[in-house]
Amino acid sequence: MSGSPLVEIAYEQIRHNLLNADYAPGMLLSESELAAQLNMSRTPIRDAIRLLEKEGFVQTLSKRGIRVNAIEVQELFDIFDLLTALYLYTLDVVEQYSGEINLPKMKTHLEALIEASDLKKYRDYYENGLLFMRTLLETIHNRHILQTFDAYKDKILFFVVVHRSYKRPNRPFTGRVVYTELYERLKEGDIQGARQTLRNSKWHVRDEVIRGGMD
């Protein structure tokens, strides 16, 4: 991150808008428009865009503007495969060493997720789902696993929020059933059941994405 406060402000605001699905994939933005919206010059906007390009969210097109990138479905599948492997490994460690999962924290995210689904707040719904899973990963105190998760979390959030906002706005929030089932399994100490819930969820997500109904 640049040492300039204006660059940081521009980066955070544009990134916030991307994750809220305010900018749809394929949309063309301009430095001038962004500068006017944020009430700053184009220089910090340009530097903020470079940072977002490195993260894969946007691409600068010569003489055309800044295009909001889409995330390819195969990339999403690859990320889900990786994260599912991390979740299952965490459960293996928990089972082997009797690790104590922070169930109260998981319950807090689960309740926030359910409330967001009732209010149709897409970003809050998916973000709390991801934080629910991050809490599970925190159990084994492996900072490299957490860093890996954090590196991909916002890409998933961007994809699912955009997909829900523009393609399937009226589809029910069925993911809450999975999170609730996983929480209940963990609460009961049923690690094998939790593993099966995660495996089933992985294939459910693939099927939903293929059918165009990401939940």
Per-residue pLDDT, 162: 81
Q: List where CATH 1.20.120.530 sits in the chain.
A: 73-210
Percent of the chain with pLDDT over 70: 90
Tens-digit pLDDT profile for residues 33-49: 999 999 999 999 999 99
DSSP code per residue over the chain: --S-HHHHHHHHHHHHHHHTTSS-TT-EE-HHHHHHHHTS-HHHHHHHHHHHHHTTSEEEETTTEEEEPPPPHHHHHHHHHHHHHHHHHHHHHHHHHT----HHHHHHHHHHHHHHHHHT-HHHHHHHHHHHHHHHHHTT--HHHHHHHHHHHHHHHHHHHHHHHHT-TTS--THHHHHHHHHHHHHTT-HHHHHHHHHHHHHHHHHHHHTT---
Per-residue pLDDT, 213: 46
Rounded CA gap, 94 and 56, in Å?
34
CATH topology for 73-210?
Four Helix Bundle (Hemerythrin (Met), subunit A) (1.20.120)
Looking at the predicted structure, is the pLDDT value of residue 179 above 80? yes
Tens-digit pLDDT profile for residues 137-168: 999 999 999 999 998 998 888 888 887 777 66
Q: Is pLDDT larger for residue 188 or for residue 166?
A: 188
Q: List where CATH 1.10.10.10 sits in the chain.
A: 5-68
Looking at the predicted structure, is the pLDDT value of residue 6 above 80? yes
Per-residue pLDDT, 159: 83
Per-residue pLDDT, 68: 93
Per-residue pLDDT, 214: 47
Per-residue pLDDT, 204: 65
Answering whether pTM is above 0.85, one says: no
Tens-digit pLDDT profile for residues 60-92: 998 889 999 887 888 888 998 999 999 999 999
Domain 5-68: top CATH class? mainly alpha
Rounded CA gap, 185 and 190, in Å?
5
Per-residue pLDDT, 67: 95
Partners of 28 in beta bridges: 67
Looking at the predicted structure, is the pLDDT value of residue 192 above 70? yes
Tens-digit pLDDT profile for residues 96-137: 998 899 999 999 999 999 999 999 888 899 999 999 999 999
